[in-house]
């Protein structure tokens, strides 16, 4: 889209607008830099584009259509801010708040984290994720008097009170909640009742909309702008995955928490735009860079920083529990070589026991593995404290470990006694294919005693830690606990929090 009086400078993918007028967000960015130079300067690390319409893949459900996509204001795809015509109709204070909101979305990597969470869980609701991200970002900006947010913007403390019934100071909430944790607490969607189908946003879609989704076409206003056409082309790579997610979610019905969250955020125009995937190396580098930029900006700007405090949501440097679990099990299950005095090393044999000058070398023992196959014992508490979604993630990770390390795995299922035992072989059985049933009391001792007879190299216990554990066994044990049990004391061994 060419705008009179502006010079278009070509970049890798976009045309960044330069000149006296700048782009639609120029005045807001100038105000950000004036009041918070370091935090406002974060906007200069991003690209900015003016567009005439809402990108097609921003719409999450039919409800967004009824709210009129022509009202779309501003959004981001994790690296670029897109300004709609509606943006210029807002006051300068509100424009400043909207840009600061988008800058934090990009700096906290919310677009990428939504994609990553979908890869881990398989099914997430993009609209609920956006509500959670908005609540945290708005709460972080709420202490600044020189900007304002649109009417109806959701703030974290209001979301916690209205949806989860949790009342706590805002600073405490920001220190405790990140977007992923908040999403998991709110997402209580469930399967269909009576065989009806429902869209992700909570309402059934019309036949025309369904046809559009099947054809992979987003619902948007018509335009002949070359810039908007390019934006649609850039989004095409990810529209298929978003469409697949929507079709999968047609069988999901909102529970009371998800319904309450949607009602609270009913007037919000969505602003997280799916982006094409980048390489893991690039993502890691970008995450580290943005985390460092945020920390520096927060330190320099002081009370005028975009962040009220160092947010729990600034988690770019955090390590997923799957990686921690994989590392600990790898150390315990890897075949460890040991000296074998019954045979010499290959180098000693190759040199015929002599040096290059002909001198004899002393005997050099060879090596052999200390055991033929490592053993892992998995104990699962089925007393009713571990939810189905967490069990699914845990099962997927254990399946991956079995395939990787070719280990013998004894699965013990129980509550106050051993209910079932399964020997899992690599490539023969999958943990997620086993049905877990129980619901009685909790006593870890019978399960640990049963595992001891298997003589494992390491044990992994999935539980909420609410039960007697007896004395520590002779083998190492790792307690894998849900986030709700993070404050429970560990009787012995190590703890991994499945957040």
Joined together, the tokens standing for residue 267 give 């007037």
For 114, 287, 294, the CA distances from 281, given in Å and listed in that order, are 18, 10, 20
Give the pLDDT confidence of 375-417 residue by residue, as tens digits. Answer: 889 888 887 666 676 677 677 777 777 777 667 788 898 888 8
Q: Which one, of 406, 403, 374, lies nearest residue 475 by Cα?
A: 374
Joined together, the tokens standing for residue 480 give 């894998």
Joined together, the tokens standing for residue 94 give 């509100």
Q: What are the boundaries of each domain within the chain? A: 7-317, 338-369, 375-498
How buried is residue 436: exposed, middle or buried, by Cβ count under 10 Å (0-12/13-18/19+)? middle
Give the pLDDT confidence of 444-484 residue by residue, as tens digits. Answer: 999 999 999 988 888 989 888 888 889 999 999 999 887 77
Q: pLDDT-derived band of residue 6, with 50, 70 and 90 as boundaries?
A: very low
Most confident of 20-29, 34-43, 275-284: 34-43
Just give the CATH number of 375-498: 3.40.50.410
Total residue count of the chain as it appears in this document: 499
């Amino acid at each position: 889209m060419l705008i009179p009086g502006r010079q278009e400078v070509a970049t890798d993918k976009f045309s960044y607008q330069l000149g006296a007028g700048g782009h639609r967000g120029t005045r807001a960015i100038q105000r950000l830099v004036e009041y918070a130079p370091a935090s406002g300067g974060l906007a200069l690390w991003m690209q900015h584009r003016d567009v005439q319409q809402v990108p097609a893949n921003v719409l999450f459900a039919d409800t967004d259509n009824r709210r009129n996509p022509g009202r779309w204001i501003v959004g981001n795809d994790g690296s670029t801010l897109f300004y709609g015509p509606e943006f210029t109709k807002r006051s300068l204070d509100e424009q400043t708040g909207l840009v600061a909101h988008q800058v934090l979305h990009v700096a906290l990597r919310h677009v990428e984290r939504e994609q990553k969470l979908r890869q881990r869980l398989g099914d997430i609701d993009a609209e609920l994720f956006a509500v959670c991200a908005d609540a945290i970002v708005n709460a972080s900006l709420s202490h600044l008097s020189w900007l304002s947010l649109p009417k109806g913007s959701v703030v974290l403390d209001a979301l916690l009170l209205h949806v989860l019934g949790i009342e706590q100071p805002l600073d405490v909430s920001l220190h405790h909640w990140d977007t992923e944790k908040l999403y998991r607490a709110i997402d209580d969607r469930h399967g269909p009742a009576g065989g009806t189908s429902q869209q992700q946003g909570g309402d059934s879609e019309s036949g025309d909309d369904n046809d559009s989704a099947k054809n992979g076409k987003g619902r948007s206003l018509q335009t002949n702008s070359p810039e908007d056409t390019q934006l649609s082309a850039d989004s095409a790579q990810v529209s298929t995955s978003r469409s697949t997610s929507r079709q999968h979610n047609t069988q999901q019905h909102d529970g009371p928490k998800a319904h309450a969250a949607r009602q609270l955020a009913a007037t919000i125009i969505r602003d997280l735009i799916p982006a094409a995937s980048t390489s893991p190396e690039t993502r890691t580098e970008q995450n580290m860079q943005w985390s460092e930029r945020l920390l520096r900006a927060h330190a320099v700007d002081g009370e005028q920083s975009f962040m009220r405090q160092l947010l729990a949501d600034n988690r770019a440097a955090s390590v997923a529990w799957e990686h921690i679990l994989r590392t600990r099990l790898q150390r315990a299950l890897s075949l460890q070589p040991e000296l074998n005095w019954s045979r010499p090393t290959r180098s000693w044999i190759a040199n015929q026991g002599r040096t290059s000058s002909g001198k004899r070398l002393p005997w050099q023992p060879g090596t052999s593995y200390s055991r033929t196959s490592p053993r892992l014992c998995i104990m699962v508490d089925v007393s009713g404290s571990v939810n189905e979604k967490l069990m699914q993630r845990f099962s997927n990770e254990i399946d991956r470990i079995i395939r990787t390390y070719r280990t013998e795995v004894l699965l013990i299922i129980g509550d106050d006694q051993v209910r079932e035992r399964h020997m899992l072989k690599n490539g023969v059985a999958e943990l997620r294919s086993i049905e877990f049933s129980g619901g009685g009391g909790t006593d870890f001792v019978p399960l640990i005693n049963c595992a001891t007879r298997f003589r494992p190299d390491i044990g992994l216990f999935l539980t909420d830690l609410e039960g007697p554990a007896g004395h520590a066994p002779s083998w190492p044990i790792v307690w894998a606990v849900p986030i709700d049990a993070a404050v429970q004391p560990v009787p012995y061994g190590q703890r991994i929090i499945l957040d």
